[in-house]
């Protein structure tokens, strides 16, 4: 997909987003009264921040409970610069955004080691820290020194020259929000988005698809922090000063919860989250409802939405499915020497030395024999001793994604595709890191899809595909571009005999299609016998046979390993 296609022919949801953004920008500031102008301005600020955590959670699968704290950072910088310098608003806004982005990058570091609840809690601790710091140092209000605090507030923040009135400022903020949403959308639809989609599903899959996981995680947090910074700075411009109570840790948890309620994978979800966060309480307050009762209503609504709308209110409105699948396992041809893999005291691979030099090589063995471990070692996912080489290229020293870039491809036992991307995009992910020109990438993807006979369904969403078609997409990923070695881990698992036959034909055609060597693991000995020239047998991590397939399958040691000694 190229950037042009973002604009043309999009889903109804995207079209609705354009209409919504346009109407908000043009109409809202002119029709709202003074109070509602203020309310909607603050809501829009929080929508920008919500967009940051929403894509982080919905698209990248990482949780940040620091977002409102990071808004405080952006707001702090805006206030400090506005009071301490004569820089224009826009410069302050950008600096505030970059400042918060810096903290976002710091926050991303734990995500390299942690995920899920643990990561969420670390970010919650950061939010708690921000809360204390804001309470201790307060927000600049025109004082001297680094902290810029004095005992009385001077005039508030300077607003942008083009947006001095409240309604003009609302339009300005909505404009910023639209740009913020577009920034995310752009990232999501291009390379980073595909990378995030992969790594949210499986980091292993992402690495095998040439994705630099570390860089993409940091980038995701940085982007989220950037948006929080913008949101906080704009909020400071709305009321002119900030109070630490706005940025308590509990607020970050609440905003995250509302993003889940709204629907983290939808643009509308962020709007709903912000509306629930700011407009609903303002409405209840306006109606004179006791704020304590408003809390109760709010809590009930939150629980109800989490129970009844697991994908968020936006999914019920937009009726669109989201979510991610993942890649498979693929491998290529290789010389292996003295390969050892240990998991604690367990020897998974014991001094395996072998050379695979035929176009298609099978690897068989009983469960637990070390077949997949071998593939993982070749892919670089697990630590090993010994060497793995392909011609002059020493693979052992390369990181997984570098091996993938070199031309090592892999499918996994369950196909790892991104359900919220089209078939075309799923294959394109594989080529993102490739230096070839975009037009060539498009051509390569089309060629790969033609190979598996899916060229007419290129724009279909993977979510709509059946199991066999998914396998085909996976295979197309493996053959796209210029692979050298393809590792297939049980490609025929769960296939009907008819489908297995088609698959066998395709595997046999790989060499002619792209010249890559294939290493195939499968329990279906018939398939192995049909397509593999050579076959290696593993048992308890040791190579017990290797040679022409027919010969190996008749080896008594192999029969024993498969059928047990009673069979002798």
Partner 1 sequence: MTLNRSILLSTVLYVIAISAVIAVLGHGKPAKVISLFAVSGLATGALYALGGIGLVVLYRATGVLNIAYGAMGAAAAMFAWQLGQWGIIPPLTWVCGIALALVLSLTYGRGIAPRLAFQPPVVKAVATLGAALIILGGVNFFWVDDVRKFSLPTDTIGIQILGLRVTATRLIVLLTAIAVVIVIQSYLKHSIRGLQMRSIANDRALSALLGIPILRVETLAWGISGLLAGFTGLLFGDLIRLEPTVITFMVIPAIAAAICGRLENLWLVLIGGLSIGLIESLMTLSPLFKSIRPVTPFAIAVLAMLWMQRGTRLIFDEEK
Partner 2 sequence: MRRLILPLTLVSAFGATGALADESAPHCGANTGEAATGEPIKIGGIHGNAAPGDFSSSTDAAAAYFSCVNANGGIHGRPIEYLVENDQWNPELAGQAASKLLVDEAVVAMVGNGSFLEMAVNAGTYKDADMMVMASACAVSECFESSNIVSTNQGPLGSNVGVIQYMQEELGVQSVACISLAIPNVGTWSCDAVTGYMEENGGTAQSVFLNPAAPDVNSAMLEAIATGADTMLVNLPAGLATAVLKAAEEQDLRDAYKWAAPTTLYDLSVPAALGEYWDGHIYVNAELAPFTDGGDDNQNWIKVMDGFANADDPRDTFSQSGYLSAKFFVETLLKMDAGDVGDREKVNAAITGISGYASDLMCGPYYVGEADFHYPNHAGHVVLIKDGSFEVVRDCFEYNSAYFDPHIAIETTLGLR
Q: Which parts of this chain interact with partner 1 (CB under 8 A)?
A: 63, 65, 110, 112-118, 120-122, 124-126, 128-129, 132-133, 135-137, 202-204, 207, 248-250, 253-254, 256-257, 260, 290, 292-296, 298-303, 306-307, 310, 381
Taking CB under 8 A as the rule, does residue 42 contact partner 2?
yes
Closest to partner 2 by CB, 286 or 338 = 286
Q: Which does 381 bind (CB under 5 to 8 A by kind): partner 2, partner 1, none?
A: partner 1
Q: Which does 33 bind (CB under 5 to 8 A by kind): partner 1, partner 2, none?
A: partner 2
Q: Which does 310 bind (CB under 5 to 8 A by kind): partner 2, partner 1, none?
A: partner 1
Taking CB under 8 A as the rule, does residue 175 contact partner 2?
no
**Closest Cα to residue 200, out of 310, 312, 115, 262?**
115
Please identify which residue in 84, 102, 143, 366 interacts with partner 2, judged by CB under 8 A.
143
Q: Is the dihedral of CA 301, 306, 309, 315 positive or negative?
A: positive
Closest to partner 1 by CB, 128 or 142 = 128
The Cα-based distances of 223 to 181, 188, 205, 537 in angstroms read 11, 11, 23, 48
Taking CB under 8 A as the rule, does residue 35 contact partner 2?
yes
Give the H or E element holding residue 481. none
CA distance linking residue 220 with residue 253, whole number of Å: 19
Which residues inside 155-174 make contact with partner 2, applying CB under 8 A? Answer: 155-156, 166
CB of residue 540 to partner 1, shortest distance in Å:
21
Which residues inside 527-566 make contact with partner 2, applying CB under 8 A? Answer: none
Closest to partner 2 by CB, 151 or 308 = 151
CB of residue 52 to partner 1, shortest distance in Å:
16
The Cα-based distances of 529 to 223, 483, 498, 508, 522 in angstroms read 51, 24, 16, 12, 10
Q: Is the dihedral of CA 543, 547, 549, 551 positive or negative?
A: negative
CA distance linking residue 56 with residue 72, whole number of Å: 19
Orientation angle between helical segments 267-274 and 34-58, nearest 10 degrees: 130
Give the H or E element holding residue 346. strand 346-355
Closest to partner 2 by CB, 301 or 386 = 301
Q: Which does 241 bind (CB under 5 to 8 A by kind): partner 1, partner 2, none?
A: partner 2
CB of residue 121 to partner 1, shortest distance in Å:
6
Which residues inside 298-357 make contact with partner 2, applying CB under 8 A? Answer: none
Q: Which stretch binds partner 2 (CB under 8 A): 149-157, 307-315, 383-391, 442-450?
A: 149-157
**Closest Cα to residue 70, out of 221, 173, 179?**
221
Residues whose CB falls within 8 Å of the CB of residue 293, separated by 6 or more in sequence, listed in order? 284
How many Å is the Cα radius of gyration of the chain? 28
Q: Is the dihedral of CA 175, 181, 186, 189 positive or negative?
A: negative
Task: Report the SS3 class of residue 240.
Answer: coil
Task: Report the SS3 class of residue 386.
Answer: strand
Q: What is the DSSP letter of 157?
A: P
Closest to partner 1 by CB, 135 or 563 = 135
Taking CB under 8 A as the rule, does residue 142 contact partner 2?
no
CA angle 490, 492, 497 (to 5 degrees): 155
Taking CB under 8 A as the rule, does residue 84 contact partner 2?
no
Q: Which does 467 bind (CB under 5 to 8 A by kind): partner 2, partner 1, none?
A: none
Catalog residues that contact partner 2 under the rule CB under 8 A. 33-35, 37-39, 42, 131-132, 135-136, 138, 141, 143, 149-153, 155-156, 166, 235, 238-246, 278, 281-282, 285-286, 291
């Amino acid at each position: 997909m190229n950037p042009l296609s973002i604009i043309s022919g999009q889903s109804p949801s995207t079209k609705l987003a354009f209409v919504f953004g346009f109407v908000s920008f043009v109409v809202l500031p002119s029709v709202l009264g003074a109070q509602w102008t203020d309310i909607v301005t603050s809501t829009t600020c929080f929508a920008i921040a919500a967009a940051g955590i929403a894509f982080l959670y919905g698209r990248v699968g990482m949780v940040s409970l620091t977002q409102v704290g990071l808004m405080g950072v952006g707001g702090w910088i805006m206030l400090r610069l506005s009071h301490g310098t004569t820089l224009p608003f826009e410069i302050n806004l950008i600096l505030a955004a970059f400042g918060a982005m810096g903290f976002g990058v710091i926050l991303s570091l734990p995500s390299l080691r942690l995920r899920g609840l643990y990561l969420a809690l670390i970010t919650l601790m950061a939010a708690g820290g921000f809360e204390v710091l804001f309470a201790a140092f307060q927000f600049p209000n025109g004082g001297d020194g680094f902290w810029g605090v004095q005992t009385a507030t001077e005039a508030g923040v300077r607003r942008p020259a083009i947006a001095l009135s409240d309604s003009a400022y609302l339009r300005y903020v909505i404009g910023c929000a639209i740009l913020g949403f577009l920034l995310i959308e752009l990232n999501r639809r291009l390379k980073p988005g595909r990378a995030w989609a992969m790594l949210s599903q499986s980091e292993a899959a992402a690495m095998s698809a040439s994705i630099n996981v570390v860089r993409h995680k940091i980038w995701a947090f940085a982007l989220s922090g950037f948006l929080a910074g913008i949101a906080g700075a704009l909020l400071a411009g709305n009321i002119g000063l900030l109070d630490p109570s706005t940025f308590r840790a509990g607020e970050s948890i609440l905003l995250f919860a509302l993003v889940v309620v709204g629907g983290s994978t939808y643009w509308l979800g962020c709007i709903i989250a912000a509306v629930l966060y700011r407009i609903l309480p303002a409405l209840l307050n306006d109606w004179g409802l006791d704020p304590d009762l408003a809390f109760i209503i709010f809590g009930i609504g939150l629980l109800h939405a989490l129970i009844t709308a697991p994908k968020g209110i936006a999914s019920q409105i937009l009726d669109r499915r989201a979510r991610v699948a993942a890649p498979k396992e693929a491998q290529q041809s290789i010389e292996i020497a003295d390969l050892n893999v240990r998991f604690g005291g367990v020897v998974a691979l014991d001094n395996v030395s072998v050379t695979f030099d035929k176009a298609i090589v099978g690897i068989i063995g009983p469960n637990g024999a070390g077949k997949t471990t071998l593939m993982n070692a070749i892919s670089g996912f697990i630590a090993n001793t010994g060497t793995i080489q392909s011609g002059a290229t020493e693979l052992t020293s390369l990181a997984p994604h570098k091996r993938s870039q070199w031309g090592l491809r892999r499918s996994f036992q369950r196909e790892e595709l991104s359900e919220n991307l089209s078939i075309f995009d799923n294959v394109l992910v594989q080529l993102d890191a490739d230096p070839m020109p975009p037009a060539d990438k498009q051509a390569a993807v089309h060629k790969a899809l033609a190979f598996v006979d899916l060229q007419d369904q290129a724009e279909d969403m993977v979510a709509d595909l059946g199991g066999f078609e998914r396998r085909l997409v996976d295979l197309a990923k493996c053959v796209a571009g210029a692979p050298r070695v393809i590792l297939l881990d049980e490609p025929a698992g769960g296939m009907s005999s008819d489908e297995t036959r088609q698959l066998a034909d395709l595997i046999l055609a790989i060499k002619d299609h792209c010249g890559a060597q294939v290493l195939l693991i499968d329990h279906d000995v018939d398939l192995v016998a049909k397509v593999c020239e050579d076959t290696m047998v593993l048992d308890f991590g040791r190579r017990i046979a290797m040679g022409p397939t027919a010969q190996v399958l008749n080896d008594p040691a192999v029969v024993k390993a498969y059928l047990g000694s009673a069979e002798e």
